[in-house]
């Protein structure tokens, strides 16, 4: 993760961003609502050619893997920034969703429930 991404989530401890609906040792003080990070990505022609070459040899298509990982990281950070803007210090029930909008164009969504927690 680069410095810019660390700045985006610096006010929300990553251990308090979770797929669970509670955090051991913490109690929910206030629920602030749904937060999300969303972006639409397309594959580049260069990436498609490189991925096509990788399919010849089989295995992990790293060009697409890296693109997907970057999209998930970016939407995660956007979601955390949204939560931070509401005053949250945690996000519960985090999920990812992906939809193909058109051939080669995908929407990536990261969402959860922004909350304020304190140690129990």
Q: Distance between CA 10 and CA 103 in Å, rounded?
A: 36
**pLDDT at res. 5:** 43
Instruction: Indicate the pLDDT class of residue 6, thresholds 50, 70 and 90.
Output: very low
Query: Which DSSP string do the residues of the chain spell out, in sequence order?
Result: --HHHHHHTTTS-GGGB-SSSS-TTEEEEEEEEEEEEEEEEE--HHHHHHHHHHHHH-S--HHHHHHHHHHHHHHHHHHHHHHHHTT-SEEEEEEEEEEEEETTEEEEEEEEEEEEEEE-
Domain presence at residue 23:
yes
Domain presence at residue 115:
yes
Number of domains in the chain: 1
Query: How does the average pLDDT of the chain come out, rounded?
Result: 84
Structure confidence by residue, pLDDT tens digits, 43-68: 655 555 555 555 666 666 677 788 88
Beta bridge partner(s), residue 105: 42, 102
Domain presence at residue 6:
no
Structure confidence by residue, pLDDT tens digits, 60-107: 667 778 888 999 999 999 999 999 999 999 999 999 999 988 887 889
CA nearest neighbour of 21 among 96, 110, 117:
117
Domain presence at residue 65:
no
Domain presence at residue 82:
yes
**What does pTM read for this prediction?**
0.79
Domain with residue 81: its CATH number is 3.30.110.70
Domain range for 87 is 12-42+70-119
């Amino acid at each position: 993760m680069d410095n810019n991404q660390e700045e985006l989530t610096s006010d929300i401890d990553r251990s308090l961003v979770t797929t669970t609906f509670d955090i051991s040792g913490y109690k929910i003080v206030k629920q602030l609502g749904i937060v999300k990070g969303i972006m639409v990505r397309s594959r580049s022609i260069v990436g498609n050619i490189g991925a096509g070459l990788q399919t010849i040899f089989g295995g992990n298509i790293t060009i697409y893997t890296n693109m997907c990982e970057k999209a998930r990281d970016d939407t995660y950070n956007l979601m955390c920034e949204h939560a931070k803007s509401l005053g949250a210090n945690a996000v519960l029930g985090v999920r990812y969703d992906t939809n193909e909008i058109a051939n080669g164009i995908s929407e990536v969504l990261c969402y959860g429930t922004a909350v304020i927690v304190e140690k129990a």
